[in-house]
Amino acid sequence: MAVTPAVFGMTGLSLTADEKAFFRDSDPAGYIIFGRNIESKAQLRALTDELRAVQGRDDLAILIDQEGGRVARMQEPLWPKFPAGEVFDKLYDIAPATAIEAARINAQAIAVTLHEVGITVDCHPLLDVRQPDANNVIGDRALGSEPMRVAALGRAILDGLQRGGVVGVVKHLPGHGRTSVDTHKALPTVTASDEELQLDLAPFQTLNKAPMGMTGHLLFTAWDAETPSTLSKTVIQDIIRDRIGFDGLLFTDDLDMEALSGTVPERAERAQIAGCDIALNCWGKMDDMTGIAERLAPMSDKTQQRLDQAMATITDTKDGDSADELAMLLAKRDELIAATA
């Protein structure tokens, strides 16, 4: 059966009969979890186990946005509250090595919570370089406004996630730090020059060996004045693949965002033609999902290779007492942060 190069969402706490049948037939590359899919630890683990059973794959890509701060699908009181990226940026001002170690340990703690419930991929870290006059959709999520700091903290987060048994996704290629509007609501136009945009590319170039990445829906007039980056062959091929040198698995950002025009299936098809590996469709709308499955060409050998290589980076983490491990990691992180307060 040909794999559909898409990641789909679900409507509820378990799969409906229609979802189960569709997922079995379309064989998507993976799934994404949102707050609407979460009620308890046992329920969430049962849902991810159900997805693996439907696909017949143990190494299934099951994604979530668990950054910390205001972007966290798994919330208190069931899970700890994790800090936003800005916390590590501020810590770096005082003690760079401590900030890097705290970011690594924090990411490992996040991964422990994800691994316990069967989630294998975290859409984290942001490598977007923060700009002072930009829309707050990035804001305190960013790891800083200096590219090498962002890269250093981002590398630590990728390492920490991997140690905890989860693959990280660098985002939002080729850079979301200059956005003038929230891409959930409108398409931002970035008029910075090619030379200025080198600042945005730098963290991604430093971490271009990351196994997974995600695009952002922005219009960069310096590179393609007509087409948003997710749908632009120029941006995907010339900037992300060639200039940044990223050869990992490339997801689109959520195709349901209002930054893009056309139907969701049309957007998915255009993204695939532009060079994105995987279409990300988050909302579990059956009409959109079936349309995507009909429009997309089957997963290419190159995309399958990228997916396999990314999932193979997951470390063999034993299902031991995750509560003890988590408590130890959180205590160590808090100790590092407190030491510089």
What ranges do the domains of the chain cover? Answer: 4-339
Distance from C-alpha of 335 to C-alpha of 150, rounded to nearest angstrom: 22
Residues 6+ apart with CB under 8 A from 79: 113
Residues of the chain with pLDDT > 70, as a percent, come to: 98
Fill in the amino acid letter for 106: N
Q: Looking at the annotation, which residues are catalytic?
A: 184, 253
Sign of CA dihedral 222, 226, 227, 232: negative
Distance from C-alpha of 126 to C-alpha of 141, rounded to nearest angstrom: 7
0.85 cut: is pTM over it? yes
Residue 319 has what pLDDT? 59
* b/e per residue 84-99 (b: at least 16 CB within 10 A): bbbbbbebbeeeeebb
Residue 1 has what pLDDT? 62
Instruction: Assess whether pLDDT exceeds 90 at residue 183.
Output: no
Could you tell me which CATH class the domain 4-339 is placed in?
alpha beta
Q: Report which of residues 45 and 258 the model is more confident about.
A: 45
